């Protein structure tokens, strides 16, 4: 991530940055205000729980985790079994091993 760079700029500017990227919903709100997007008919596909899936869940989107990134299925199961709401917000609706697993469905 860019956390180290952001922290350096914050220190130099002596003020806290306003993050517009994932998982902040600002980016989704901008797109949704420009286009007619129905969150109930939108899916967030990503490979990180703490950015992609968290943003999708916080925006009311269906979420799909692809296991080609840093996230493991064991990590997902740990969050799923937790009673902590913050950890539950990291649980995707669906997962696939690879984004390539979606190709057969796109042909329908």
Identify the band that residue 108 occupies on the pLDDT scale cut at 50, 70 and 90.
low
Residue 102: is its pLDDT beyond 90? no
Instruction: Give the chain's mean pLDDT.
Output: 92
Tokens of 15: 């003020």
Asked if omega into 23 is within 30° of 0 (cis), the reply is: yes
Topology annotation, domain 2-106: Rossmann fold (3.40.50)
Give pTM, 2 decimals: 0.85
Each residue's pLDDT tens digit, 16-30: 998 888 899 998 999
* Tens digit of each residue's pLDDT (9 = 90 or more) over 40-99: 999 999 999 999 999 999 999 999 999 998 899 999 999 999 999 999 999 999 999 999
Asked whether 26 and 55 are in contact (CB, 8 A), the reply is: no
Q: Any idea where the domains of the chain sit in the sequence?
A: 2-106
């Amino acid at each position: 991530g860019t956390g180290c760079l952001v922290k350096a700029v914050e220190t130099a500017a002596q003020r806290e940055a306003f993050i517009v990227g994932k998982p902040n919903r600002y980016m989704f709100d901008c797109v949704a205000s420009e286009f007619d997007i129905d969150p109930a008919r939108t899916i967030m596909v990503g490979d990180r729980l703490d950015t992609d899936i968290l943003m999708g869940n916080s925006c009311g989107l269906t979420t799909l985790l692809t296991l080609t990134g840093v996230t493991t299925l064991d990590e997902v199961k740990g969050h799923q079994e937790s009673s902590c709401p913050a950890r539950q917000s990291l649980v995707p609706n669906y997962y696939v091993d690879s984004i390539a697993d979606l190709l057969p469905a796109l042909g329908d």
